[in-house]
Amino acid sequence: MTWMEWYDNLAKPSWTPVPTTISLIWTILYPIILISFGFLFVRAFQSKVPRMVAVPFAINLVANLLFMPIFAGLRNVPLAAADNLIVWATIIWCVVAAWPVHRWVALAQGPYFVWVSIATVLQVSITAMNLGRP
Q: Average of pLDDT values for 84-94?
A: 98
Q: Are residues 81 and 124 in contact, defined by beta-carbon separation less than 8 angstroms?
A: yes
Any idea what DSSP says for residue 74? S
Q: What are phi and psi of 100, to 5 degrees?
A: -70, -20
| Count of beta carbons in the 10 Å neighbourhood of residue 21 | 10
Distance CA 10, CA 8 (A): 6
pLDDT digits (tens, 9 = 90+) for 32-78: 999 999 999 999 999 999 999 999 999 999 999 999 999 999 999 99
Say yes or no to pLDDT of 134 above 70. Answer: no
pLDDT tens column, 102-133: 999 999 999 999 999 999 999 999 999 999 87
